[in-house]
Structure formats: C-alpha cells, structure tokens
Amino acid sequence: MQGSEPSWQEWITSNLSAGCVPADMQVRMIAAGWNEADARAALASGIAQVFPSLTAPVVALPVVPDTGMIWCEGREMKVTLRLASPAVALCENVLSSVECAELLAFAHDRGLRPSTVVDEVSGENLPHPERTSSGVMLKRAETALIDRLEHRLAALTNWPVANGEGLQILHYREGQEYRAHFDSFPGGAGGAVHTARGGQRVNTVLVYLQSPEGGGGTAFPSCGIAVCPQPGSAVIFRNVDVTGRRDPASLHAGLPVVQGEKVVMTYWQREGPYA
C-alpha cells in the first residue's frame, strides 16, 4: 500500500541513487510499518528504475550459470565477462589457433578489399573514412571449416544458423580503425533496404584471429570498456533492446591499431531467417 505513496517512492529512488544498501532500507521500511513482501516489491521496482541495466537481459548463451565454462559443439569455452548494458559476453577458446591460421590464410588467398559501411540515408554499402580496414565477405557455408564455424557460433549464441549473415574477415593495419558505430540498421528507407531480408541485425559475434602488438581493442563507449583482442576469443553483444529497437548502449568502435596488425571475424545475426 505504502508503495503507491509518492513520498515513499521518492524516498526509495533517492536513497538507492545515493548508494544506500537495499537490505538496510528494508529494515527501515519495516520499522515504519511496511510488511516484508511489500517492502521487497517496492525496493525491486525502485532498483529497476534507478539501475535499469541490472534488469536488462544478458546475451543468451547456453551456459550453466556461475560455472564460467560452456561446452559448445565439442569445445570447452570459458566465459570471462558478462555485462548487462550493453549486453556483452566475452568468451575464450571459441576457435583453435589452427582454425585462426586457416582463416587468415583463406582471407589472404581470397584478397582483401576496402571495407564498406551502410549509408544511413540511401542504404548503399560504400567505402567510408570511418572504417579504414580491408575485408573479405564470405558466403554462408563457403567451405567445410566456415560451415562448421557458423554452426559453432550459432550454438554459442543460442541463435538459429539460418539467421546468420555470411562471415566477414576484417584486417586492420597500423592506424586503421572502425570508428564508433552501430551494427543495427538505421530506421527509415536506408535501413529498410537491409531489414527487408532477415530483419534487424540483433547480435554481433566478433572473433579475433590475430592480435596487434598495440591498440586495436573493441571499445564500448557507453560503459567505458575496451576488449583486448586475443586470438580465438570472441566478444558477443546484443544490438537491440527488449523492444527490438537499436540499443544506444551497443555503440562500439574498433580502436586504431597502434602497432602490428589486427584481424577479426565478424558474424552478424538477424532477427529472422536470412534466406
């Protein structure tokens, strides 16, 4: 009952914002006449309001909670970090060093072209100073290895393999970068060209194939974190919020490579089958 009184709601949100401990607040509320269940419920809704990131869903991974280890397509992988907002998971040992080397050789043989970005207005794929890397776009299941990796990344993210775009391999030399951007498509006509097939790009999986000697992290400016590239490791993130719209917290950047070369494989997953 008391929870509907604006003064209590304000007391809860202002104390939570000031860093008070919910358990201590509950004791105070009970002393003031609240019953325990109502106090808990009012505190939970206050927490959801003050710290929305705590209640945001974390990228779905078929993982036993708290173990940090997952078995995925016969490989033992290690989950080393999960963030709620943006929804990010870091995973080690997604690819073996032999698989990374095979992909590097494959990309080299296929030849690299300047990377493009989606023009927000026309929807065209165009080279852009914001994205200075070179890349190779692979067809789905182009080789047996690529087919196996698509199935592995789909299993890791609990997302249908049919919803995946072809893998892309990106190569950055010193000074090259991919400035802060969203992987989800913009609204309007520019985005509609792309979402007509498969819908929005909801998840991104980045697997590092080669790490530079300096720089080249993947940064998420909304939370001030940068992932350091480690060959065979992946960073997985969600590009949309619970309503399916672009999540502003999913803004990210491939930071400039300071020394050496960086190679990353990008796997984008759509909302629906990408047929």
Ligand X SMILES: O=C(O)CCC(=O)C(=O)O
Q: Can you give the binding site for ligand X, defined by CB under 6 A?
A: 170, 178, 183, 206, 218, 252, 254, 264, 266
Rounded CA gap, 192 and 196, in Å? 6
- Tell me the C-alpha to C-alpha distance, in Å, between residue 111 and each of 16, 132, 171: 55, 16, 11
- Provide the minimum distance between the beta carbon of 33 and Fe ion in the complex, in angstroms, as a whole number: 52
- Provide the minimum distance between the beta carbon of 252 and ligand X in the complex, in angstroms, as a whole number: 5
Contact partner at residue 104 from ligand X, Fe ion, none, CB < 5 to 8 Å by partner kind: none
Contact partner at residue 220 from Fe ion, ligand X, none, CB < 5 to 8 Å by partner kind: none
- Tell me the C-alpha to C-alpha distance, in Å, between residue 45 and each of 34, 36, 141: 15, 14, 46
Q: List Cβ neighbours of 89 (8 Å cut-off, separation of 6 or more).
A: 58, 59, 61, 79, 81, 82, 83, 235, 236, 237
Q: Which is nearer to ligand X, 68 or 260 (CB)?
A: 260
- Provide the minimum distance between the beta carbon of 55 and Fe ion in the complex, in angstroms, as a whole number: 25
Q: List Cβ neighbours of 148 (8 Å cut-off, separation of 6 or more).
A: 73
Contact partner at residue 206 from ligand X, Fe ion, none, CB < 5 to 8 Å by partner kind: ligand X
- Provide the minimum distance between the beta carbon of 152 and ligand X in the complex, in angstroms, as a whole number: 19
Give Dmax over CA atoms of the chain in angstroms: 73
Q: Which is nearer to Fe ion, 40 or 179 (CB)?
A: 179
Contact partner at residue 264 from Fe ion, ligand X, none, CB < 5 to 8 Å by partner kind: ligand X
Contact partner at residue 85 from ligand X, Fe ion, none, CB < 5 to 8 Å by partner kind: none
Rounded CA gap, 191 and 121, in Å? 8
Contact partner at residue 170 from Fe ion, ligand X, none, CB < 5 to 8 Å by partner kind: ligand X
Q: Which is nearer to Fe ion, 210 or 239 (CB)?
A: 239
Query: Would you say 49 and 13 are in contact if contact means Cβ atoms under 8 Å apart?
Result: yes
Rounded CA gap, 130 and 176, in Å? 9
Is-cis flag, bond preceding 212, omega within 30?
no
165 lines the binding site for Fe ion (CB under 5 A):
no
Q: Which is nearer to ligand X, 15 or 184 (CB)?
A: 184
- Provide the minimum distance between the beta carbon of 264 and Fe ion in the complex, in angstroms, as a whole number: 10
**Residue 193 in tokens:** 């060209």
Closest CB to Fe ion: residue number: 183
- Provide the minimum distance between the beta carbon of 254 and ligand X in the complex, in angstroms, as a whole number: 3
DSSP 8-state secondary structure symbol assigned to residue 164 = B
173-202 residues in contact with Fe ion (CB under 5 A) are 183
- Provide the minimum distance between the beta carbon of 170 and ligand X in the complex, in angstroms, as a whole number: 6
Q: Which is nearer to Fe ion, 46 or 212 (CB)?
A: 212
HEC assignment per residue over 92-139: ECCCCHHHHHHHHHHHHHHCCEECEEECCCCCCEEEECCECCEEEECC
Q: Which residues bind Fe ion (CB under 5 A)?
A: 183
